[in-house]
Structure 1
Amino acid sequence: MRSTRRILARGRWGAAFLAAVGAACAHPGGAPAPAGEGRGMFRHAVDSLVGLPAFRDAHLGVLVVDPEGGDTIYSHDAGKLFLPASNMKLVTSAVAIARLGLDYRWVTTLAARGPVRDGTVEGDLLVFGRGDPTVSDGMRGDAMRPLRDIADSLYARGIRRVAGRVVLGADVFPGPTIGFGWSWDDLDDPDGAPVDELLFNDGFGVLHVRGADRPGVAPIVVTTPARTYPAVRVLARTVTAADSARLRARPLRAVRDTARGIVVVRGTIAARDTASLAVPFPDPDAAYLAALRQALQDRGISVDGRPVDAAGAVDSLVRIASPPLRDVLPAMLKPSQNQMAEMLLRTLALVETGVGRADSARRVETAQLEAWGAAPDGFVLRDGSGMARYDYLSPETVVHVLDAMRRSPAFDAFYAALPIAGVDGTLRTRMRGTPAEGNVHAKTGSLANTRSLSGYATTRDGRRVIFSVLCNNWTAPSALVLAVEDSIAARIAALRLR
């Protein structure tokens, strides 16, 4: 707990308070909790953590249950509502597993509007997307790979030219492309990238900037994974190394110009220096279609892009299936990928109701949560990722979801997809050196004044316990909140229930 001590020592907390924190947390970041402690000792320890003076002004909910024994091991404000942050992804993924199944695949169809003659699509090439979230560097190693596969399939069918345009076939995800209640200042970050029926590279690209050889010249900017999107206007300038140090107040930054649909690069960079800037795409469909046009042209299929008669017959050319949902889950849950969760939410709505809107998905999720035993007043659902500050879950609801997954035939895949303490995902650096390391499988959650940790821990005597810790609205250092979460998880792993 040394790092937490350093942070607290700079604040308003005194030495006596620090000693109390150290005793209550039992060094969650260092030495393990006492081996084989019983229920009474566990409850006393968690009571001490929940009752820390630092949490006097905080909202903290904790629920720990032994589902096999049907026993509540610990409960504190477990029926109250909390902002869950990315713990919302537990709901999204669990309901998707229940309704879609682990083998669900997204199918993208390419069709010609108008006749195909002598290798030429005489009209537009239509792309009918249904929310495939896997066209990304994270899932495929190179987001262009599945688009090259499409180009290869069209080339194999003899297509060499598209006389019209490459356009969206149908708007199956109508409505807003961002979540209800997302914070405005998140929208310039890849975590806040919008989504639609076509999604390329989780909704963001990377601008690779290299300073020119001499000062006063605009730097060179290259975009990846697609080199043709987004369009970039460079207003940045190259300066000398000395000037770069002097002008630190003018760092490189990428700003979206939503009116023009471009990205503007401003600031300064030293000659021959390099930098990378991640930027969300202003239009998800446009990004996918631009990347596909690039893949077609690279394969030798030209795209004229001229307007054509939109009334021609539509004939299917190629159907491409994504990897299954079982492969998507770890790519979404371990790093806590927001856009995948939003795509999954809209897919759930599209499949179950025929309308790919978040509000349609909420009706599906509500029915499923109540079927799992969650109280109707134990949740408020607004998005799929937990970015919305209008999402609310109680620890009781989270535990119902986790218990439903425990009893599901899909449990092994769900369990493996969660971050593992001290091993991978958002828990890779947490709980190392404690009984929780390699044991706890849990989902984190993090927004301003919100931290969550919910999942499974196996006790020292082999019982799999479900827990949920949700905390909102504190004024203490965030490191203390994480230390308390980790201490609770480590103590569960050290429990003896038999």
Structure 2
Amino acid sequence: MKHASQIQRLGVTAVVTGLLLGLLAFFLIPVMASGSAAKEAVEAPVPRVLAAAAATALPPLDPAAPAPVAAMLAAKLDPILSSSPADASVSASVIDVASGEELYSHAGDQPGIPASSLKVFTAIAATQVIGEEHRFTTKAVLRDPNTVVLVGGGDVLLGAGTGSEAASGRAGLETLARLAATALLDAHAAGETGDAVSVQLDDSLFAGPALNPDWDASLVTTNNISPLSPIAMYGARANANPKAERVGDPGMFAATTFAKALRAAVGSSAGGPQVATEVTRAAAGAQGTELAAVTSATLGEQIRFMLEVSDNYVAEALGRLVAVKLGQPGDYAHGAAAVAQVLADLGIDTTGMELKDTSGLADTNRVAPLALARALGYAATSEHASLRNLGYALPVAGATGTLSTRLGAADTRGMVRAKTGSLMEVSSLSGLTVTRDGRALAFSFFVNTNDRAVGPHRQILDASAAVLTGCGCR
């Protein structure tokens, strides 16, 4: 397969080095106290849950650690995966990271609905094409003596104020307004502006429909997504609260926030121009004199945020930004196609893959668990150092993000890093773990039902991941 051949080309030394570096995320992981372990209806006894906060550390990874025997692993996983209700379909793939060998498959090569596990692909593609140290720039431009244009450059995690240490809200629109006000006042004093200045928004970096037609309309009303714009605050939310409602026009909401702050900053100085707070949209590609600019958290920080909280808006923006970086239109179709193309170019097998978006919200996406497991294994052993950092960004079992209340038992807590996925009638879990013998595994599990439940039968996925972590399987 393409993946295996690429690993072979790296050579034994590169594989071992990449494995050790790429899985540094598993060492000395700080783990917060959790309430109780996820109920495991299949396995018994339930492992003891840690009662107090502690640091969970893995033993040093030994490249010579024995891999699980496939038959022994199947003997442990088959009863769990086959315990699903009759109306549910389950698929799974487990990869030995060091060798690239698939150790277990339960319809693992059959494309299914990945839900938010698909964000792993988006993270890989964005890191590879854009670069983990890249920062997105939002700038204010004086287009003519009477017009200031706010130009969206891809940062959808802007803040309303002066900035934040967090990835969401790192760059502040108030800071941008204050800097722009200083430059605007200087320009006015030099006779380069009029006495009345309007504000416009240039959000032309993205193209096409702002909403994907493959998304169910309920995803908007339930705050899972909003119309896409290359400029937004807090992932298109009304404020910094991670549960705040998403706004209907994220770009205009950000521009109006900026305009009000600019008016306040200019108005505090005598003799400056009058700034209107009503904002209109500018023609694409506004040219002029840059007044000020602010930059986002690094792409790597934004990816960590996206994966930990499973932020759909950030994921969709990153997909479009990958397309733009490759010289393609920044619409949803080109974004999905660009992510798939980057994976193929990296040698990751994309057979049967159909990407309709880059967040996993579309139930028309089709991805095989094998493809996700191979992508995670590729990243962990990649010659690209930035891709090896992907392990740092995944939620930690019993500790962070969407895994903070899952897999909290003593032998899985802090030992599993994985991306969760939940849609109506769909659950997925895709990530990395280390066996009891010190062997790194990549895995992906899907469950699909017809019971109208959101994220059904997660206990099956969690129990399967627990088997991998506790497995000697020799």
TM range (shorter): 0.7 to 0.9
Would the aligned equivalents of 1:358 and 1:383 in 2 still touch at CA under 8 Å?
Answer: yes
Residue in 1 aligned with 2:114?
84
Matched, 1:285 2:257: no
- Structure 2 Cα separation of the partners of residues 135 and 399 of structure 1: 33
* Local SS of the residue matching 1:469: strand
Partner Cα distance (2:259, 2:369) in 1 = 47
Is the counterpart of residue 486 in structure 1 residue 462 in structure 2? Answer: yes
Give 5+ residue unaligned stretches, structure 2: 1-35, 51-65, 189-194, 268-273
The Cα shift of 1:46 comes to 1.0
1:43 equivalent in structure 2: 74
- List aligned pairs for 1:84-483, cutoff 5 A: 84-114=114-144, 122-136=145-159, 143=169, 146-159=172-185, 163-205=196-238, 224=239, 278-301=244-267, 302-304=274-276, 314-408=288-382, 409-475=385-451, 481-483=457-459
Change in 2 beyond 3 A, CA 1:421/1:305: closer
Q: Aligned-pair distance for 1:492?
A: 0.7
Q: For 1:313 and 1:476, how far apart are their aligned partners in 2?
A: 51
Q: In structure 2, how many angstroms separate the alpha carbons of the residues matched to 1:338 and 1:41?
A: 38
CA shift at 1:81, angstroms? 1.2
1:25 is matched with: 43
Is the partner of 1:420 in helix, strand or coil? Answer: coil
Aligned amino acid, residue 353 of structure 1: G
Which deviates more, 397-406 or 150-159? Answer: 150-159
SS of 1:419's equivalent in the other structure is coil
Q: Tell me if structure 2 keeps the 8 A contact 1:134–1:140.
A: no
Decide whether the 8 Å contact of 1:135 with 1:199 is kept in 2.
Answer: yes
What secondary structure sits across from 1:109 in the alignment? strand
- Distance in 2 separating the partners of 1:335 and 1:145: 19
Query: 8 Å contact 1:29–1:430 — kept in the other structure?
Result: no
Cα pair distance change 1:426/1:277, threshold 3 Å: closer
Quick check: 1:190–1:203 contact (8 Å CA) kept in 2? no
Give the TM-score taking structure 2 as reference length.
Answer: 0.76
TM-score (norm 1): 0.73
Q: Which amino acid is 1:111 matched to?
A: V
Counterparts of 1:65-80 in structure 2, within 5 Å, are 65-80=95-110
Question: Once the two structures are superposed, what CA deviation does each residue of 1:61-102 show, in whole Å capped at 9, x if it has no partner?
Answer: 111111213432211101111111101111111111111111
Deviation, 1:152, is: 2.2
Counterpart residue type for residue 168 of structure 1: L
Supply the RMSD in Å over aligned alpha carbons.
3.3
| Equivalent residue, structure 1, for 2:60 | none
Give the aligned residue type for 2:374: H
Alignment match, 2:25: none
Provide Cα deviations, 1:313-370, integer angstroms capped at 9, x if missing partner. 7222223221211111111110101111111111111111242112222332222222
Change (3 A) 1:305 1:372: closer
Distance 1:225 1:497 in 2: 46
Displacement of 1:478: 7.1
Shift of 1:423: 0.7
- The 3-state SS of whatever aligns with 1:98 is helix
Q: Report if aligned partners of 1:37, 1:494 keep a CA contact under 8 Å in 2.
A: no
Which has the higher mean CA deviation after the structures are superposed, 438-447 or 59-68?
59-68
Classify the secondary structure of the residue corresponding to 2:120: helix
Task: Tell me how far apart the structure 1 counterparts of residues 95 and 146 of structure 2 sit (CA, whole Å).
Answer: 61
Q: Which amino acid aligns with 2:275?
A: V
Give the superposition deviation at 1:170.
5.0
How far, CA to CA, are the matches of 2:452 and 2:75 in structure 1? 22
Q: Which runs of 5+ in 1 are unaligned?
A: 6-20, 115-121, 206-223, 227-275
Taking a change above 3 Å as real, the CA distance of residues 407 and 38 of structure 1, as seen in their structure-2 partners, is closer
Q: Which ranges of 4 or more aligned residues in structure 1 deviate by more than 6 Å?
A: 2-5, 310-313, 476-480
Give the 3 Å change call, closer, same or farther, for CA 497–132 of structure 1 in structure 2. Answer: same
Q: Which has the higher strand share?
A: 1
Report the residue type matching 1:80 in the other structure. Q
Kept after mapping to 2: 8 A contact 1:179/1:383 = yes
Question: Match for residue 64 of structure 1?
Answer: 94
**What per-residue deviation string (whole Å, max 9, x for no partner) do you get for residues 267-312 of structure 1?**
xxxxxxxxx994321212210111101221332344136899x999
Which stretch shows the higher mean deviation, 444-453 or 67-76? 67-76
> Is the 2:256–2:278 Cα contact (8 Å) retained in structure 1?
no
| CA shift for structure 1 position 427 | 0.5
Partners of 2:348 and 2:67 lie apart in 1 by 31
Relative to 1, partners in 2 of residues 1:28 and 1:83: Cα closer, same or farther, differing over 3 Å?
Answer: farther
Contact 1:456 1:466 in 2 (8 A): yes
Q: Hey, what's the Cα distance between the residues in 2 that align with 1:307 and 1:287? A: 9
Residue 3 (structure 1) shift: 9.8
Deviations 1:210-238 (A, max 9, x none): xxxxxxxxxxxxxx569xxxxxxxxxxxx
CA change 1:29–1:391 in 2 (3 A) is farther
Query: Amino acid of the residue matched to residue 133 of structure 1?
Result: V
